[in-house]
Amino acid sequence: MLYYLRGMCIYTCKYKFGVDIMTLSEEILELKRKNNALILAHYYQRPEVQDIADVVGDSYYLSKYAFESTSQLIIFCGVKFMAESVKILSPQKKVILPVYDAGCPMADMVDETKLIELKEKYKDAAVVCYINSSTEVKALCDVCVTSSNAIKIISKIKAKNIIFLPDKNLGGYLQERFPEKNFILWNGFCVTHQKVRVDNIKKSKEAIKDAQVLVHPECEKKVRDMADFIGSTGEIIDYATSSKNKNFLIVTEEGVLRELKRKNPNKNFYFPQVMSCVNMKKTRLEDVRNSLINQEEITIDEEIRLKALSALTKMHEMAR
């Protein structure tokens, strides 16, 4: 009897849940059409949010897409620095972040006063920030990078000394790739990627011996050292798609699974450890719907925007 009741309960919840999602998605698509909006979603967003988006991608691709699009209303399902990057590049467009407090703890690890001191100390250094930085920090830097274009951009920088922030792991990876450079690293990290344990990867490798290990550079060196391939979200998806291998251990945020499965329905993807970014998962379909109704847009002080624009424009030029 108990089993029966529990079964009923699960069935009812599932049924109800399914109906709610359908109705909300339809409502969002209707509002999107009426407002001529463009919905962008990062690979780390909830699958149902990725499903209703016009475009799914990484921060670099999405900011480029928003800049080139003719749409004047952009709903960015991601975190604050991503939506702000779009607004910096396209100030005439209305850019909306559906959940206003969806931030990035790594971006918040930079203290602007300390950065100014560091710049004073290493006057000849190029100042490079990961796109996971606030607009105020971007305004203090020479150029931005993302995990998908960092190698290309660093290879074009002439200075030997490079102040790199906030991610010490991506910075450490770049130092390994460019031993002739001297990286001065900030002590920042991604809370989601930092907690990956080598033991968990080892156990998964023992269970699925032929699996290839695909790792994001935001992971620590000891984790990166276990990788068959190190790359950004987009690069991990491309690598798995073009590989002849069938089994993969994915060491980045779990949201990438939707795109990996969509492109590779016959391949198997395993996560040695649950990796879920709390901030990326804040955006629900309800928030997307409400943002299309309320249209509370992002605003940035014009003086800071222009300074941050220089670092972002340089990134787009150098990544070509």
Q: Least distance to ligand SF4 from the beta carbon of 272, Å?
A: 17
Contact 283, 99 (CB under 8 A): yes
- Cβ closest to ligand SF4, residue 159 vs residue 191: 191
Q: Rounded to whole angstroms, how far apart are CA atoms 253 and 299?
A: 29
Residue 233 found at the interface with ligand CIZ (CB under 6 A): yes
- Considering only the stretches 171-179, 230-238, 281-289, 300-308, report the one whose residues sit in contact with ligand CIZ under the rule CB under 6 A: 230-238
Is residue 84 involved in binding ligand SF4 (CB under 6 A)? no
- Contact partner at residue 58 from ligand SF4, ligand CIZ, none, CB < 5 to 8 Å by partner kind: ligand CIZ
| Alpha helices by DSSP H, 59-160 | 59-68, 80-89, 112-121, 135-138, 150-155
Q: Smallest gap, in angstroms, from Cβ of residue 188 to ligand SF4? A: 9
Cβ atoms of residues 122 and 295 within 8 Å: no
Q: Which two tokens stand for residue 43?
A: 């690979």
Q: Does 220 bind ligand CIZ (CB under 6 A)?
A: no
Region binding ligand SF4 by CB under 6 A among candidate stretches 69-77, 170-178, 190-198, 205-213 = 190-198
Which amino acid type is present at position 31?
L
How far is it, in rounded angstroms, from Cα 181 to Cα 3? 64
Select 230 or 309, whichever has its Cβ closest to ligand CIZ: 230
Q: Which amino acid is at 248?
A: F
Binding residue for ligand SF4, selected from 86, 106, 141, 162, defined by CB under 6 A: 106
| H or E, element range at 26 | helix 2-35
The two structure tokens encoding residue 320: 């070509």
Q: Does 192 bind ligand CIZ (CB under 6 A)?
A: no
Query: Are 255 and 282 in contact, with CB atoms under 8 Å apart?
Result: no
Task: Please report whether residue 134 would count as binding ligand CIZ according to CB under 6 A.
Answer: no
Binding positions for ligand CIZ, rule: CB under 6 A: 42, 58-60, 131-132, 146-148, 216, 232-234
